[in-house]
Amino acid sequence: MRYLMHFLLPFLAVFLQSTVFGFYSIKGTLPDMVLVFVVFFSVINGAAKGTVYGFLCGLLEDLYLGRFIGINAISKALTGFLVGKLQGGFFRENFFIGALAVAIGTLLNALILLLLSRLAFASFHIDKQFFTAVFYQFIYNVILAAPLYGWYYRSSRAGLLRLSREN
Amino acid sequence: MPGLFKNKVFWLCILVLIITFTLIRATSSEREDITLVERMLREVYAPLQSSVTEMRDYFSGPRSIFSQKADLNEKISEQEEEIAKLNLENQVLREYEAEVKRLRVLFNFSSNNLDKYSLSAARVIARSPDNWLETIIIDKGSVDGIKKDMPVITPKGLVGRIGSVSEHASQVNLITDREIAVGATLQRSRNTSGIVEGMVEGSLLKMINIPYYASVKPNDMVITSGLSEVFPPGIDIGAIYEVTEEPNGLLLSATVIPTVDFNKLEEVLVITDYTPVTEAESVPEEPMAEEE
């Protein structure tokens, strides 16, 4: 049931991003809810689990999009890993940690996407508009993360999202 | 460091990375068909997305009617005036149409007009959930006769083409996507050709490969040329906004404002029976010289 809930969150995120958030975009930019959940998961469950979760969530998004399948899987896996590693020095229960981690995660994810597009995939166009989109996505993700993290943290400790006893 | 190479997890990560990079490469260009997993995923999402569109229509319809009654009354009177003008224009155009048809029969010309194609109306049920790919999902799929590469339009102009199809939904690649290139020409001077593609900034388009001697001016209408194998000729694409000279001095490029507002797309039309005219078909065979 708990694993199902963790799968349903990115599934719901893709659904909301493709429908509801389309009507509430900031300057045509959508938030990355899948990334928000990957970051939350990594903050609470650590780098190793965060990497696997990031990879699976990114893959779901890639399969839905149908092009460059794997690009989001790699970027979100690496973001999950890095956020999990960075989290070590902070208190997970702190309300602001969620928003801060999402802010860092959004920038890391953008940087990884930029590197991947430059490294290997000439037809994956990322240019001037990319930085504008990242700026608005950064704001949007942080706005969403602030209220969501409290619920996510509580559910991970004692609710539907709790993976194991030590959490 | 030597311990790292003995670590099984390290080698597993390397293997997954190699497989993923291969997958990205394999799916970076257009594919003939989508995989079973992608098709299943789209089939799961399509009814959910469709219901959101229905709910939005249900709730926004009556609310907007009541809240904007005065605004609507004004619009209705404006539209009535417009209809009167259009009726008059229609009468003249009908005469021209009849004349053109007679002349076509006389000269054995084939028609390029859009009215000869079968159109299938579809609703936009979802947009791309990420910021980098310009796609929409429509509620018609293979069961409705939709096939890959069919052109998609609205009464205002060109929207894009079908990128992939599942049973009850299809993904449309918009012309604002950098992957799409459309053969285009100017409505005013049909011999000025170029290629229209998406721009990285905003929802504008760019017409490239225009010869330096071409007469291109702001507000010139850009239409499909029919030279690509996907789009029929004569569909509105947009209006020229700004013309710039390419650094090599041999070509011009122009910014094009699309006629379609891609942020407000709700319904589209899919051309289901367009078959491109091949060169052999379009050039009439020269009559055999009679032997003396």
Contacts of A32 in chain B (CB under 8 A): 130
As a whole number of angstroms, the distance between CA B185 and CA A82 comes to 50
- DSSP annotation of B272 reads -
Residue with tokens 């999009």: A65
Residue B83 lies in a domain: no
pLDDT band at A20 (very low <50, low <70, confident <90, very high): confident
- DSSP annotation of B115 reads G
As a whole number of angstroms, the distance between CA B16 and CA B226 comes to 44
Looking at domain A2-13+29-158, its CATH architecture is Orthogonal Bundle (1.10)
Structural domains counted in chain B: 1
Q: Hey, how many other C-beta atoms are within 10 angstroms of the C-beta on B199?
A: 16
Which of B115-124, B162-171, B244-253, B282-291 comes out lowest in average pLDDT?
Answer: B282-291
Do the chains contact at B131 and A73, CB–CB below 8 Å?
no
Domain span at B239: 181-270
pLDDT band at A159 (very low <50, low <70, confident <90, very high): confident
Cα angle value A32/B137/A53 (rounded, 5°): 35
Burial label for B191, CB within 10 Å (0-12, 13-18, 19+), is exposed
Distance from CA of B286 to the nearest CA of A (A): 43
Contacts of B45 in chain A (CB under 8 A): 14-15, 18, 64
B226, B232 in Cβ contact below 8 A? Answer: yes
SS3 A143: helix
Q: Compute the average pLDDT of residues B22-45.
A: 87
A73, A53 in Cβ contact below 8 A? Answer: no
Residue B120 sits at the chain A interface (C-beta within 8 Å): no
Residue B86 lies in a domain: no
The pLDDT, as a whole number, for residue A62 is: 93
B236 Rama class: left (phi>0) / alpha (psi -120 to 50) / beta: beta
Residue B209 lies in a domain: yes
pTM of full prediction above 0.90: no
B164, B148 in Cβ contact below 8 A? Answer: yes
Tell me which residue in A14, A74, A126 faces B129 most closely, judged by beta carbons: A14
Residue B187 lies in a domain: yes
Kindly write down the DSSP assignment for every residue of A134-148, as one continuous string. Answer: HHHHHHHHHHHHHHH
Contacts of B128 in chain A (CB under 8 A): 18, 65
Residue B23 sits at the chain A interface (C-beta within 8 Å): yes
CATH code, domain with B243: 2.40.10.350
Which of A99-113, B105-119, B187-201, B224-238 comes out lowest in average pLDDT?
Answer: B105-119
Residue B121 lies in a domain: no
Residues facing residue A89 across a β-bridge: none
Contacts of A116 in chain B (CB under 8 A): 24
pLDDT band at B291 (very low <50, low <70, confident <90, very high): very low
Residue with tokens 């992939």: B164
Domain locations in chain A as residue ranges: 2-13+29-158
Choose the mutation target among B42, B44, B131, B171 for the interface with A, i.e. most A CBs under 10 Å. Answer: B131
Residue B129 sits at the chain A interface (C-beta within 8 Å): yes
Spell out a b/e string for B11-38, using b for 16 or more CB atoms within 10 Å of the CB, else e: eeeeebeeebbebbeebbeebeebeeeb
Helix, strand, coil % in chain B, rounded to nearest 5? 35, 25, 35
- DSSP annotation of A90 reads S
pLDDT at B285 over 60: no
SS3 B210: strand
Residue B226 lies in a domain: yes
The pLDDT, as a whole number, for residue B248 is: 78
The pLDDT, as a whole number, for residue B287 is: 44
As a whole number of angstroms, the distance between CA B124 and CA B138 comes to 4
Residue B101 lies in a domain: no
Q: What are phi and psi of B227, to 5 degrees?
A: -80, -25
Residue B28 lies in a domain: no
Chains A–B, number of C-beta pairs less than 8 Å apart: 108
